[in-house]
Amino acid sequence: MLTGAKPFVGDDVSDTLALVLKFEPAWDSLPDDVPARVRQLIQTCLQKNPKQRVHDVADVRLVMEGAFETTASAPSEPTLSPTLPIWQRPVAAIAVALLLVAITGLVVWSLMRPVPPAPRPLAQFVLQMPLDGPVRSVGFNTEVAISPDGTRVVYTSGQGAPQNQRLYVRQLGELDATPLRGTWR
C-alpha cells in the first residue's frame, strides 16, 4: 500500500505464491519518508520464517508505539572490548576440560578392565603302557581323566578283573606315570 504496487505479480495464484516463497519484496521501492520503525515492522511482518514474524495485531500496536525501542546514549569515545587470551576464553576452557575428562576416562578404563587369561599351550603326549597291562577301556569309553587345572592325567590300567587294576597319575611335564598307592580295585 505504501508503494502503490503489488510486491509480487504472477500469471496466476500459484505463480504469485511461488514468487512470495522464492524472493524478498523490493524494499528499496518504499518511499524515503516512511519512518524506520514502520519499515522495520513491515519487514518483520513479511518474514519467510513464521517463528520470526509478528504474531498478532497487539504486537504491531506495541511496535508502533515504540514499546520495544530503547534509548541509549552514544558513548563519547568508542570502547574496544578486550580480547581474552585463548586459555581464558570459556569455549577453550570447556574444550580442554572435556578433553581431560576423555583422556582420564580412557586411562582408567585401560587400567581397570580385566585382562584375559593367557591361552594355555597345546600339550601332546604319549602314555607309556604300565607294566601291569594296557590302559583299560570299556567299550568305546577309555577310563582317562584330566585334572581341573589341566596339569595331570589319571587313568586306569591292568588286565582281567577289577581287583587287578590300578590308578596311575602322570604330570604333563613328566614322561612316566606314578601308580597311586592303595588303588587296587
Domain-located, residue 5 = no
**pLDDT on residue 104:** 95
Please tell me the pTM assigned to this model.
0.34
pLDDT per position as a tens digit, 58-115:
877 877 787 767 665 555 566 666 676 766 678 877 888 999 999 999 999 888 888 7
Domain-located, residue 86 = no
Residue for cell digits 505463480? 15
Domain-located, residue 38 = yes
The CA-atom distances, in angstroms, between 178 and each of 131, 147, 169, 181 are 12, 15, 5, 9
Chain mean pLDDT for the chain: 77
Give how many domains the chain has, as a whole number: 2
Beta strand pairing status for 178-179 and 152-157? unpaired
Residue range of the domain that includes 30: 13-64
